[in-house]
A and B are shown apart, each in its own frame.
Chain A
Amino acid sequence: MNQTLEAVPQNWYLILSTLLFCIGVIGVLFRRNAIIILMCIELMLNSVNLLLVAFSAYAGNNDGQVFVFFIMVVAAAEVAVGLALLMSIYRNIASTDINVLNKLKW
Chain B
Amino acid sequence: MNLSQRLVNWARVKSPWITLFNSGACNGCDIEVIDALTPRFDIERFGILAQGSPRHADILIVTGPVTAKQASRLKRIYEQMPEPKYVIAMGACGATGGVFRGLYHVVDGVENVIPVDAFVAGCPPRPDEIINGVVACLGLLKEDLAHGGKEWRRKKEPAPPPAPAAKPVEVHA
Real complex partners, A and B? no
Binding site for A on B (CB under 8 A): none
Binding site for B on A (CB under 8 A): none
